[in-house]
Amino acid sequence: MSSHNDTVTIAPAQVYLAKGSAWRFLPILGLVLAAGGLGGAFAMKTGHEHEFWYAYLTAYYGVLAISLGGLFFVILQHLVRAGWSIAVRRLAENAMITLPFMCLLGLPIVFGGMHDLYHWTDTEAVAADVMLSAKASYLNEGAFRIRVGVYFLIWTVLSVVFYTWSTSGDDDEVKAARNADRARAFAAPALLLFALSLTFAAFDFLMSLDPHWFSTMFGVYYFAGACLTIHAFLTLVSILLRKSGYLQGIVTDEHYHDLGKYLFGFTVFYAYIGFSQYFLIWYANIPEETMWFGYRISGDFFAVTMLLCLGRFFIPFFFLLPRAVKRSGVTLFIAASWILMMEFVDMYWLIQPVLAHHHAVESGNHEMVVHIGALDALTLVGMFGAFLGAFGWALGRKALVPVKDPRIIESIKFENF
């Protein structure tokens, strides 16, 4: 398969998964993990409804960060007309197109887990609480379900549109060029829709777990984590595909370098947003705001908070500083694996203290205890398996890179200075 530039030839074997490739079994592996993990978790649900739904939401929002991060990556690259990223953009598109499947996995929360997760669904509690009564026009089951439907619709439409435009041009240079122009023109309104939907979804699914607390920075906080997560995921998949013999000469050390710079940059951005949110709440010292952080520095959760500070900022910041680290597949793989793992620690830190506080009040000892059990492990394995199944399906459908994109040669040949 020759590109429009005769100086570079992209061989089909480099960009299409071979029939016997281990990557072809990724959908099957994903389905097995999803069935075993989620099936086992649902089987254990009876009598442990609260624990199950908190574990489910933690796993769901951790994995969803990869899919939403993929959508943001694709929109942003089209918006800024980036050339370097075209060689890895299809991998982000394959992560992005899992969003319709992830939206389906979000429906059990909306129609089955709301009463176990969200205190504001208790009408008697709302009537007895002045603050919840004031928020009732927004925090009610009907409005919640309508908003979630809108979020899921936006994510599904955007992912399908950008994915279709990209993949439908793989066999036609003229169509690929026309679709690239369409994607660039649509990127700005798409980014606005993405930003609003992600922000309010974070408010609804995560921030409303503690309905007395509020932060206008919360959506940006989750966004920063999603950006870190997708760049870590792209890095891991790119390295593993190259180790398997694919993308040789297409994804180069220069792409590793840029992915590493994104990991470094968003590590700083995440820390800035996280610290700013904490600092403003600490400075204002309003009780209903400070309580949220109070739960997370009490009992066992203080250790989780310290792990997040070290593991989400200090460790990756200093590890990724050297140029050589960002250009080595081995060291970059280590950094990306660590950053991906820390996203799930972050989700646990955001979600599980609400359940721990509930148990502390019920027991009367008021101790915040970290509990990680079989339900947490099974839901995480099952949710990640479902994502891998959908991602693996997309990976094998089309070329691993947009081979007819008019700027693919620019991406292959680019160099860092």
pLDDT value at residue 2: 35
17: helix, coil or strand? Answer: coil
In a domain, 6, yes or no: no
Q: Are 409 and 258 in contact (CB under 8 A)?
A: no
Number of domains comprising the chain: 1
Residue 116 covered by a domain: yes
Number of H helices, E strands in the chain: 19, 0
pLDDT at residue 11, rounded to an integer: 86
Q: Is residue 128 part of a domain?
A: yes
Residues (pLDDT < 70) of the chain are: 1-8
Q: For Cα atoms 267, 218, 157, give the angle at the middle one, nearest 5 degrees.
A: 90
C-alpha dihedral sign at 370, 217, 100, 211: positive
Query: pTM to 2 decimals?
Result: 0.95
Structural domain of residue 308, as residue ranges?
12-413
Six-digit token string for 263? 């990991």
Tokens in use for 222?
């989750």
Query: What is the per-residue pLDDT across 145-167, written as a single tens digit (0 to 9) for each?
Result: 999 999 999 999 999 999 999 99
pLDDT tens figures, 327-375: 999 999 999 999 999 999 999 999 999 999 888 877 777 788 899 999 9
Query: Does 4 fall in a domain?
Result: no
Spatial contact of 89 and 169, defined as CB atoms under 8 Å apart: no
Q: Does residue 5 lie within any of the structural domains?
A: no
Cα–Cα distance list, 409 to 10, 63, 147, 360 (Å): 10, 32, 42, 59
pLDDT at 143: 97
Give the Cα separation of 51 and 65 in Å (integer): 22
- Give the pLDDT confidence score for residue 390 in this predicted structure: 98
Q: Residue 244: inside a domain, yes or no?
A: yes
C-beta separation of 346 from 12 below 8 A: no
